[in-house]
Amino acid sequence: MRKTQKGVSFWAAVAMGVGAMVGAGIFALMGTAGAIAGSAVWISFVIGGGIALLSGYSFGRMGARYPAAGGLVEYLVQGFGPGRFSGTMSVMMYLGAIVGLSLVARTFGTYAVTLMPQGTPQIMVPVMAGTVVLAFMILNLGGARAMARVETLVVVIKMAVLVVFAIAGLIFIDPAQLSPATYPPTPSILFSVAITFFAYEGFRVITNAAEDMDNPARTLPRAIMTSILLVMVVYVALALSVFGNLPPEKVIAAQDYALAEAARPAFGQTGFTIVAIAALFSTASAINAALFAVTNVGYEMARKGELPHAFGTPVGHSREGLLISGGLILLMALFFDLSAIAEIGAISMLMIHMVTHIGHLRLIRETGANRGMIWAAVLANGGAVTLGVWHLIGTKPIVLFWILCFGTAAFVIEMLLHSATGRTIATRTPRRGT
């Protein structure tokens, strides 16, 4: 990717990863995961974080060797070569990112409406969702430096609020509500891991900033692992605070605003309002970071002939793909029902991660990664997929159908777009950071 400016430092990259992870994940998925794992959901967040750390190690080593704007798109091509398989997986990841961003936008809209006067029509949820996407589309036209500066500021604010809430929540918890006697059977805790992993999945956006780092070989791996560890601590603390102050049924009933509802017992309406505002900051920063990432993914796919050339055309300090992707996100956020996107997105992304790690095994000599760690990443992601699928077979088989449709659509789109562009897919020559 043509570098118009540098500016993504170590801490800016960490802020980008934290911003993408602590978005809709913890705010929208706490109730979903809690419906399965109950008060033991904190254990699920620990396991999900462990899987994320293994994936982060693998991606960090690949990114150090192949620092490309496309991130996982580049890693798939390097691991499996240019072709229909890597192209299909890349399109699947792109579509997953677009739909996931729509979920984040809808979560922003949901929390925004909770802060409006009672009786506000629900049509304001998609309106607010569309507004925030449009605002950050304009911001991202300023390029990586503009995005990184705003992301760092927003992340500092929201993390401060969440940390204070977590600490205060831990002080006021009812230990009886977190007793192992209240935990569901172990399989239920394991079934929820796919969903809690999805709350970490945003860390991959850091790989899309590799070309905007002065020393990606050093900065990228450290930023990935640091951001995951920071978020893991916060997630576990928040899970303990929420389920230590509210019984599982109330968390599930609160759905998308579970964290804000958990602040009521100790802080009343003021606590609810503060956490809701933090949710707005969190989802906004997630949209900001993810828009930057999806633009780079679109550019990389266009360079490889997997998307039309327009996705790589410069616009301002960004790419035309930002406008195209933003438009798709706006449409989905305004008109689509995304109630099942957590399960679809979680299983799909786990599968993409697993396939990318398998490709990494073929590049071990190039990346210098520890083979045992990469195998652990493959098995951990594969195990989470298996558990998630097993759970859906017994509870929501229709979601498995949609996941199959999702993969089929990715294959068809890749075939059509590659045929339409008629371009030769290019591979990138590896370069080492200095």
Tell whether 430 is covered by a domain: no
- Average pLDDT along the chain: 80
Where does residue 40 rank: exposed (0-12), middle (13-18), buried (19+ CB within 10 A)? buried
Tell whether 431 is covered by a domain: no
Residue 364 pLDDT level (bands cut at 50, 70, 90):
very high
Residue 54 pLDDT level (bands cut at 50, 70, 90):
very high
C-beta separation of 205 from 16 below 8 A = yes
Residue 314's pLDDT is what? 59
User: What are the Cα distances from residue 278, in Å, to 27, 81, 259?
Assistant: 10, 43, 10
Nearest-angstrom CA–CA distance, 346 and 195:
6
Residue 424, pLDDT > 50, answer: no
Nearest-angstrom CA–CA distance, 377 and 233:
20
Tell whether 329 is covered by a domain: yes
Residue 398's pLDDT is what? 85
Residue 42 pLDDT level (bands cut at 50, 70, 90):
very high
Residue 430's pLDDT is what? 52
Which tops the pLDDT comparison, 288 or 241?
241
Mean per-residue pLDDT, 329-336: 73
Phi, psi for 314 (deg, rounded to 5): -65, 140
What would the pLDDT profile of 85-143 be if each residue is shown by its tens digit?
888 888 888 877 787 788 788 888 888 988 888 888 888 888 898 888 888 777 767 65
Nearest-angstrom CA–CA distance, 328 and 343:
21
Residue 3 pLDDT level (bands cut at 50, 70, 90):
very low
What would the pLDDT profile of 213-268 be if each residue is shown by its tens digit?
878 888 899 999 999 999 999 899 988 988 888 887 777 777 667 777 777 777 78
Residue 392's pLDDT is what? 87
Is the pTM value of this prediction over 0.85? no
Tokens for 372, please give them.
């045992």
CATH number for the domain spanning 80: value is: 1.20.1740.10
Mean per-residue pLDDT, 9-27: 78
Tell whether 42 is covered by a domain: yes
Tell whether 386 is covered by a domain: yes
Tell whether 397 is covered by a domain: yes
Tell whether 368 is covered by a domain: yes
Domain enclosing residue 386, as ranges: 10-421
C-beta separation of 19 from 151 below 8 A = yes
C-beta separation of 14 from 223 below 8 A = yes
Residue 16 pLDDT level (bands cut at 50, 70, 90):
confident
What would the pLDDT profile of 365-383 be if each residue is shown by its tens digit?
999 999 999 999 999 999 9
Structural domain count, the chain: 1
Tell whether 428 is covered by a domain: no
- Which range of 215-229, 275-289, 296-310, 415-429 scores highest in mean pLDDT? It is 215-229
268 Ramachandran zone, left/alpha/beta (phi>0; psi -120 to 50): left
